[in-house]
Every structure is written in C-alpha cells, then in structure tokens.
Amino acid sequence: MLFRIDPSGTEPLAAQLARQIRSAAARGELTPGMRLPSARDVADSLGVNLHTVLRAYQDVRDEGLIDLRRGRGAVMTSAARDVRRLREAVDHVVAVAHDLGVSPTTTLSLMKEALQ
C-alpha cells in the first residue's frame, strides 16, 4: 500500500492517511485479513511523526476497519468488505442520478437527508 500526503494541504496528515485507507478498502485494494505496513515504516517513508500514523490507524480502528494489536500490527477486518459493498451502492446511486440528470448538489443533499 502506497500512501501519499500533501503537507501543504488543509486536511490534517492523519486524516489524509485515514481517508486513503478507507478509499483503498472501498476500491477492494485492502481486503479482510490484509496487513497494513507498520506505523513506523509508513512514518519513515513519508517523513512524518510516528504518532501521526498511529492517529490515522486509531481512527480507522475506531470505525472498525482495522484491528490493531501489539506484535501483530494493523490488519483489515471484515468491515473492509462492507465498505466495498457500500461503495458499490453509492456508485449505483451516482449512476442513476446521472442518468436522470439530477445535479450532484441535489444528489448529495438527498444522501445527507437519508443519513439523518
């Protein structure tokens, strides 16, 4: 898994890393049982503080996407499969909205309303 960060971006570095893990799970690149690189390896390769990577890993752990265990590292959980299924459903909604000529703003508004 190759992580990239934008140090000059407005999004915090840990949030950038967590977003990339979520996105990779949604695309099916990270599947249940796969190990993520060690936090130390990611920190070294990106030139960021170890705690930044640990924060990202903790965020996705709190969402249930990974299991963090001392000595075992970060391992994707079965929730990765669920995120992929959700991504497929969202892609379907977007395709239907496009076919119907519904604007992205309206589609997003409807999705937000449905989530409440």
pLDDT tens track for 36-58: 999 999 999 999 999 999 999 99
- The whole model's pTM is what? 0.79
Q: Report pLDDT for 70.
A: 82
Looking at residue 107, its pLDDT comes to: 95
Residue 2 pLDDT class (50, 70, 90 cuts): confident
Q: pLDDT category, 31, cuts 50, 70, 90? A: very high
* 104 CB-near residues (< 8 Å, 6+ apart): 97
- By the 8 A CB rule, do 39 and 64 touch? no
Structural domains of the chain, ranges and CATH numbers in brackets: 13-115 (1.10.10.10)
* CA gap 115, 12 in Å, rounded: 25
Instruction: Tell whether the model's pLDDT for residue 16 goes beyond 90.
Output: yes
Q: What is the mean pLDDT of residues 91-110?
A: 95
DSSP-assigned beta bridge partners for residue 74 = 68
Q: Residue 112 corresponds to which amino acid?
A: K
Is 80 exceeded by the pLDDT of residue 1? no
How far, in Å, are 39, 66, 96 from residue 44 at the CA level?
9, 21, 43
